[in-house]
Structure 1
Amino acid sequence: MNISAVPKAGELLVCSSGQGAGFFDQAVVLLLDNDESGAIGVALNKPSTTPVSNVLPAWADQLNPPPVLFAGGPVTPNGAICLAKVLDRSEEPPGWRPVVGDVGLLHLDTPVEIVNGAYSDVRVFAGYAGWEPGQLEGELKRGVWFLSTLHEEDIFGTSTEGLWRRVLRRQGGEAALLSAFTEDPSRN
């Protein structure tokens, strides 16, 4: 996938700060949409300790491990967004809208009985990251984010620990150097 000058759905935003960026410290955000209304995405590497079964019990058996809510971002943290990879793209299941390839948004009001067996991967996020029109592009120009290509395991992999470093390393150059960042500045 070519990285565009204007970020688009399906690309990754990788925070250039390993420290001091609040929620976005070492965040890897999947961009879900970017248009004249602004941009939205979800952080892929911020699992919480809250089991999805506590909040959406009917969905617990559909999830990839770990079966917890992921903190998608600071906007509307009490709302949920679900990403799902459809098994058969020739038949779009009800309640699903594609984002990139076989991965899309799945409406959580869709009856689980209909969803069962239609997806190979499912993950639920609490909240999302949002940008006003032009804000994300400005942050990219200031170096707040690296724009990166998506690998499927970035979304649904079982280990989110170290995702920030892995994505930076595969970028090469300055981003790869940043992946060696340590929490203790004296070790840098």
Structure 2
Amino acid sequence: MSNFKSLKGKLLIAEPSILNDNSFNRTIILITEHTKNNAVGFILNRPLNYLLSDLIPEISNDFTIYQGGPVEQDNLYFIHRVGDLIPDSIEIGNGIYWGGNFESLKFSLQSDLISNNDIRFFLGYSGWSKHQLDREIHSKSWFVSENDHENILSINDETIWREKLLQKGGNYKLWANAPSDIQQN
């Protein structure tokens, strides 16, 4: 595959055809790393019933924790827009960063330097081995979209998947209005 093109910074939109896949049904994933050997991303629209203070009691912020994906769900990850406050962050694109120095993060949170729209926390991540993501896109499990949001961290969890389908148009408009449990239709 000499024509490798990295999807880093782009969005993966779950195709309606994977409605029966509970891990990824109606998900939007931000790709944070994509090399010839692997890909990593985080589900942006799967809030969990945890707050940051539930997981890290010394941080009193009530930021929602999201399910990042099925891999390493006991690990906390974060993407953010404050790379200047958190050294060792990896720039993804569009002013979004991944990870960084955890002590700096804790200090910035405790000092109220980071707002809810600047950061999103995840338990677990979504990962793909060499060529796996390419195969899944080719088999119509996902379609790729530009991250054309001014701030992807402030998207509406409830409506983003539908919005992306409507934006793609065509037959996707029909699926955008389908009930989440297709058997209720």
Using the size of structure 1 for normalisation, the TM-score is 0.81
Extract structure 1 runs of 4+ deviating beyond 4 A: none
Post-superposition offset of 1:168: 1.3
1:36 is paired with a residue whose SS is: coil
Distance 1:79 1:170, change over 3 A: same
1:152 is paired with a residue whose SS is: coil
What is the correspondence of 1:2-21 to structure 2 with a 5 Å cutoff?
A: 6-17=5-16, 19-21=19-21
Gaps of 5+ in 2: none
Asked if the contact 1:30–1:42 (Cα under 8 Å) also holds between the matched residues in 2, the reply is yes
Kindly provide the amino acid, as one letter, of the partner of residue 102 in structure 1.
G
Distance 1:13 1:155, change over 3 A: same
Q: Report the equivalent of 1:23.
A: 23
Q: Report the equivalent of 1:122.
A: 119
Q: Report the equivalent of 2:100.
A: 107
Using the size of structure 2 for normalisation, the TM-score is 0.82
The number of aligned residues is 177
Determine what percentage of the aligned residue pairs are the same residue.
23
Kindly provide the amino acid, as one letter, of the partner of residue 166 in structure 1.
E
Post-superposition offset of 1:139: 0.7
Q: Report the equivalent of 1:96.
A: 89
CA RMSD for the aligned pairs?
Answer: 2.6
Point out the more displaced range, 71-80 or 114-123. 114-123
Post-superposition offset of 1:58: 4.2
Kindly provide the amino acid, as one letter, of the partner of residue 99 in structure 1.
I
CA–CA separation in structure 1 for the residues paired with 2:177 and 2:126: 25
